[in-house]
Each structure stands twice: as C-alpha cells, then as structure tokens.
C-alpha cells in the first residue's frame, strides 16, 4: 500500500529559498538600525521552564491558558516552547546580573521562532518568527521615544505598506491607578454581564481589560460606553504619557491614541503601542510592545523598569510592498560540458573556482549542449565555461560572457585565474 506523504504541522510553514533571502535582508536591516541605538544581539533558548512564561506572560492570558506547547521531559520537568521572547529575555537578564553595575542601561535584541497553539488563519501561525528588542534600566520617557523611533525607522526602511502607530498608556500598579480603574471597569461590566460574549463572561472579573479589545460585536458595543483608563491614570503616569507624546512629536513620528488598546500579555505598565499595516485583513498588527516596569521584580530580580517590542516577521513580509528578492544566490559561473571526460575537467575547474570564493553552478546529469546553455542563461550567471569534445582535445575551454554573448577560447592551464579576473 502506498504511504501518504507527511506534511508540515498545521499552522507551521517552510520558508523556501527565494523568500529566505528577503527575510535575511530584513533581518540585516533590523540589525543595522538596532545597532544605531546601541542594542546588542542575544540568542535565547527556544524552550524554558514553563514557569518563566506562566509567571511572566500572566496566568490569565490566552497564551498561558490555552496556547502554550508545554511538555514534561524525561526528567519530569515541565518545559514550554517559548510563545514570546520578553519573559525569556527577563529570565536571562536576571540570571546573568546584567543590571550590574547599578545604573546600567541594557539593550538587547533577538530573532527567532515563537510557538503558540492559536487557530491558524491568514497571518496567524503556530510557529512564527519575531524580531524583538528590550531595553532595561530606565523609567525615562526618552527611552519610550527611542524604542518607538527605532521601530518607526525599521518599519520605514522595510517599506511596510500604510503603517499606523497606535499608542496608549495602561497606567501602573499603584492602588489609585490601574487597580482602581480595573475595579471601576469590573463594576461597569458586572451590570452588563449577561450581554458579554461567552469568553468575556468568563474572564471579565480576572481580566476585565481584555473585554475592551474583544472582537465580538456584543462586547464592542459594551466597550464603547465603558470607563476608559484616561480618566483613571495617576498623575505620574499621565505626566509620563504626556512626555512620550511630546517627544514623538519632536521626532516627527505620527501616532494615533487608542484608549482601547490593552495588549494580550499581562506584564505591561504605562506606555503600550502597536503598528498596524494595510492589506493584512484581521491580523493587521505587525508589531506590538510597551513598558513592563514590574516584570523583572515580579520574576525574582531587582526592581528594574523595562520597555520593548516585537515585530512579527510573517506579517511584516506580507505587508512589504513588492519585496525584492536578493540576487546573491546567482552563480558567477555556469559550467557546461559534453561527455564524461569533459565533465571530469569541468568538475576539477569548478572545484578550484569554488576554492577561490567564486560561485559555480553546473548540471550533474548529462544533458545536451543546448539544454545546458539554456540552464546557464536562466541561472543568471555572468559567465559560461564550455568544454566540448573539440575543446577537450585542445586542452582548452570556451569562456562566454552571458550578457554580451562575447566568447573566447582559453587553455585549461591557468583558466581559473583568467575566470577570476573576469569576475572581479
């Protein structure tokens, strides 16, 4: 019986050659912009002890409640494939005492896959890649503006279609700030409990803010009249948010205030932001981030404030107008040969050229001359090196410039140097 071929896991995609080059170009662009702001790359593990995310992302979040890939390993330890990078980065920051000496500002960025068992749809995957940045060690609103400018410059450099920066402040953990607001919101929602969607009906007491960005019509209607954080923020948070807005204006970065934007992770305090792009449908958020001034302390570290963001690579690439494919995989030379003896000679020349750093392509199977020349043309190579029976008899090869059509016979002796001179 013929066996069925095995496909990739649902919601998990291969990134094929042709696309990979554009991805790398975007990553390189990000690295360049990150380094302008003093960020250094960190490579974090793909899995962590489950508590890193349970504590970090928040027990009541959708991610922790139903989306984590958690397993018990052979030693009986509960491990989780990272659903995001911030909690890992915080774990590493604390573990390696990066706050020493005191007053140090630490700026880190990372690339890599994240895993969430969400319902797959356009722009929503179970394995997706993020580029993330985290800045630790200051409550200054300048840091908020710096991090947002970094994201703004990156989004511009990547050529994202119709980007919009959405901004909000979620207040802080002082009793008269977010806790008081949450209480007012729960009171408001309790009186409308029967009209909430099933999910919000279950979660509104523990996580009332999520009702504000629930996508169901029922909840959106209720959210319209709900108390907003603006009227409940403490003076310190209001000042901070005002300064962030002033600084963004000074940097000429346009933004839209959205008091209903709450973000799906529990660690945020004060400034939160998202960047949306055109033409992506329902999953139009290409990046999200914000301050998380209590997370380091709540994860067992010192009392160090922080701010960061992550860009979703799949959505970013989808929103990039006419993503250029990089040419760097085009060979410099295409070897064409007829017959076994000529193929041996071509093999030897190809080996020497590659040793000199020249990109060489050749067909392994014995195709006809015309067919091989067709492949040489399509490959985008600069030169074809042709060895037929005649050339072989003369211990020579023809070097053909594939753009101009000019060609010249050259003795095999010293041909590698002649070719490398033509490539330079």
Name the token pair of 410: 């050259």
Our CA angle for 152, 236, 210, nearest 5°, is 65
Residues 297-316, mask of contacts with ligand HAM (x by CB under 6 A): -----------xxx-x-xx-
Tokens 């702001």 map to which residue? 37
User: Binding residues for ligand HAM, how many (CB under 6 A)?
Assistant: 25
Taking the least distance from each CB to ligand HAM, the nearer of 292 and 334 is 292
Binding ligand HAM (rule: CB under 6 A), the pick from 214, 286, 350, 385 is 286
Q: Is the CB of 134 or the CB of 146 nearer to ligand HAM?
A: 134
- The nearest distance, CB 291 to ligand HAM, in angstroms, is 8
Site for ligand HAM, residues 145 to 174, rule: CB under 6 A: none
Distance CA 354, CA 209 (A): 59
Quick one: which of 56, 58, 132, 305 contacts ligand HAM (CB under 6 A)?
132
286: left (phi over 0), alpha (psi -120 to 50) or beta: alpha
d(Cα 175, Cα 197) in Å, to the nearest integer?
Answer: 29
Contact predicate 346/385, CB 8 Å: yes
Residue 288 sits at φ, ψ, to 5 deg, of -150, 150
Cis geometry, peptide bond prior to residue 101 (ω within 30 degrees of 0): yes
Q: Count of H helices and E strands in the chain?
A: 16, 16
Q: Which is nearer to ligand HAM, 133 or 346 (CB)?
A: 133
Q: Does 285 bind ligand HAM (CB under 6 A)?
A: yes
Of 130 and 372, nearer to ligand HAM (C-beta) is 130
Minimum distance between the CB of residue 44 and ligand HAM, rounded to whole angstroms? 12
Q: Does 85 bind ligand HAM (CB under 6 A)?
A: yes
Q: Closest CB to ligand HAM among 109 and 334?
A: 109
Residues 313-372 within binding reach of ligand HAM (CB under 6 A): 314-315
Name the residue nearer to ligand HAM (CB basis): 125 or 204: 125
CA angle 146, 148, 154 (to 5 degrees): 105
Beta-bridge partner residues of 411:
396
DSSP 280: -
Using rule CB under 6 A, residue 130 touches ligand HAM: yes
Least CB distance to ligand HAM at residue 322 (A): 20
Nearby residues of 167 by Cβ (< 8 Å), 6 or more positions away: 244, 245, 248, 255, 256, 257, 258, 261, 271, 272, 273
Nearer to ligand HAM by C-beta: 269 or 372? 269
CB of residue 144 vs ligand HAM: minimum separation in angstroms? 12
Nearer to ligand HAM, 130 or 379 (CB): 130
Of the candidate spans 83-91, 202-210, 244-252, 350-358, the one that interacts with ligand HAM by CB under 6 A turns out to be 83-91
DSSP sequence for 154-208: HHHHTTBSS-EEEEEE---SSTTTHHHHHHHHHHHHHTTGGGS-HHHHHHTTT-T
Q: Which positions from 260 to 279 touch ligand HAM by CB under 6 A, shown as an x/- string?
A: ----xx--------------
Nearer CB in complex with ligand HAM: 52/286: 286
Task: Tell me how far the alpha carbon of residue 280 is from its chain's centroid.
Answer: 16
Please tell me the chain's helix, strand, coil percentages from 3-state DSSP, rounded to the nearest 5.
Answer: 40, 20, 40
Residues interacting with ligand HAM, by CB under 6 A? Answer: 84-86, 116, 118, 124-125, 128, 130, 132, 134, 264-265, 285-290, 308-310, 312, 314-315
């Amino acid at each position: 019986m013929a066996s069925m071929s095995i496909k990739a896991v649902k919601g998990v995609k291969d990134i094929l050659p042709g696309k990979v080059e554009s991805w790398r170009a975007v990553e390189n662009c990000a690295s360049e912009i990150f380094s302008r702001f003093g960020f250094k790359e960190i490579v974090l593990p793909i899995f962590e002890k489950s508590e890193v995310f349970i504590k970090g992302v928040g027990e009541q979040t959708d991610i922790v409640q139903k989306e984590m890939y958690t397993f018990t390993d052979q030693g009986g330890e509960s491990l989780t494939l990272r659903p995001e990078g911030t909690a890992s980065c915080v774990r590493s920051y604390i573990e390696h005492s990066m706050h020493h000496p005191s007053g140090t500002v630490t700026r880190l960025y990372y690339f890599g896959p994240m895993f969430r068992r969400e319902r797959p749809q356009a722009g929503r995957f179970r394995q997706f890649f993020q580029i993330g940045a985290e800045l630790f060690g200051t409550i200054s609103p300048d840091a908020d503006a710096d991090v947002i400018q970094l994201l703004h410059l990156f989004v511009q450099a990547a050529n994202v279609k119709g980007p919009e920066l959405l901004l909000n402040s979620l207040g802080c953990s002082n009793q008269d700030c977010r806790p008081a607001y949450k209480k007012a919101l729960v009171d408001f929602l309790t009186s409308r409990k029967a009209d909430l969607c099933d999910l919000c009906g279950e979660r509104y007491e523990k996580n009332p803010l999520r009702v504000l960005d629930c996508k169901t019509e029922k909840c959106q209607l209720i959210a319209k009249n709900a108390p907003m954080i603006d009227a409940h923020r403490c003076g310190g948070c209001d000042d901070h948010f005002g300064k962030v807005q002033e600084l963004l204006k000074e940097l000429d970065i346009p933004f839209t205030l959205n008091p209903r934007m709450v973000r799906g992770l529990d660690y945020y305090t004060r400034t939160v932001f998202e960047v949306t792009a055109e033409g992506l449908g329902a999953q139009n958020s290409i990046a999200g981030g914000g301050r998380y001034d209590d997370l380091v302390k709540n994860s067992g570290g010192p009392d160090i404030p922080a701010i960061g963001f992550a860009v979703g690579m799949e959505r970013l690439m989808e929103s990039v107008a006419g993503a250029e494919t990089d040419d760097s995989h085009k060979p410099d030379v295409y070897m064409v040969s007829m017959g076994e003896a000529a193929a041996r000679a071509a093999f030897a020349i190809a080996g020497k050229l590659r040793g000199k750093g020249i990109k060489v392509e050749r067909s392994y199977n014995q195709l006809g001359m015309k067919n091989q020349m067709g492949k040489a043309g399509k490959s985008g190579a600069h030169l074809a090196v042709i060895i037929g029976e005649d050339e072989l008899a003369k211990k020579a090869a023809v070097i053909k410039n594939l753009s101009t059509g000019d060609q010249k016979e050259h003795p095999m002796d010293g041909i590698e140097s002649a070719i490398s001179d033509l490539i330079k």
